[in-house]
Structure 1
């Protein structure tokens, strides 16, 4: 790849990353969420019995203190509750409440709207090729960075 093409790729990816995050932040703000909190709630909701902070952190690829801080920021929404773990007093299980489950369709709707807006009038074939190219790029880049960096997204 020549320098001109490399510049175009870098510029496009940087701009898309910034714009996507900003657009996602606006959509999630209407739900009372910040980027990252949507994924955290969605992952928690996939486990009917809930999960410990350590399990959640592992699933998100972040450290437990980071998961604890993220949960603290979400605390006021009433979207989850903390339950003691009978076998370990130091642990709590985070369980999504009914209010949290009711928020999931809106989260998924925001994701769908954002994806639709980002893809625009691309044909089904163009969408599939774009997704494949992005997934392959992600796979290649994943090997270059620490997984903890990905959790910040």
Structure 2
């Protein structure tokens, strides 16, 4: 008989939680009928992190996908009126991607759906448990600290 593998059990719990989060978010977003795929919603959420409209290459790097994948996402979002391609003011050969008013409205709906999903998922936890969970998740997301106080990749 083999001994229990605590790390394996934790990994399985994390995977199950991830699937549950996706299911609940999907349910909260489906009734909003935005016609946006999860990948497109991720691109929309990423756009707001830029002070000025980013290039497709910037988006690909930030999303950690190949540039062709961003082109496909932008094509769909542009056809839906959520983003538009605009020429760079300094170099007309460079195309930048910006949100439209419809895209901003879709983002507000996405945020509301994600907030509702988070409330449902976190409902069983007390405020203290939420604080502890937040700290633990930050540690897992950022990676452990090195001896010199830097995060490992």
Identify the TM-score tier after normalising by the shorter chain.
0.7 to 0.9
Work out which of the two has the higher radius of gyration on C-alpha atoms and give 1 or 2. Answer: 2
What aligned pairs does 1:1-150 form with structure 2 within 5 A after superposition? Answer: 3-29=4-30, 30-47=33-50, 49-140=52-143
Number of aligned positions between the proteins: 143
Unaligned runs of 5+ in 1: 145-153
* Structure number with higher helix proportion: 1
In 2, Cα distance between equivalents of 1:129 and 1:25:
26
* Structure number with higher strand proportion: 1
Where 1:78 maps in the other structure, the secondary structure is: coil
Unaligned runs of 5+ in 2: 145-150
- Tell me how far 1:119 sits from its aligned partner: 0.7
Q: TM-score of the superposition, structure 2-length normalised?
A: 0.78
Q: TM-score of the superposition, structure 1-length normalised?
A: 0.78
Where 1:27 maps in the other structure, the secondary structure is: helix
State the superposition RMSD in angstroms.
2.5
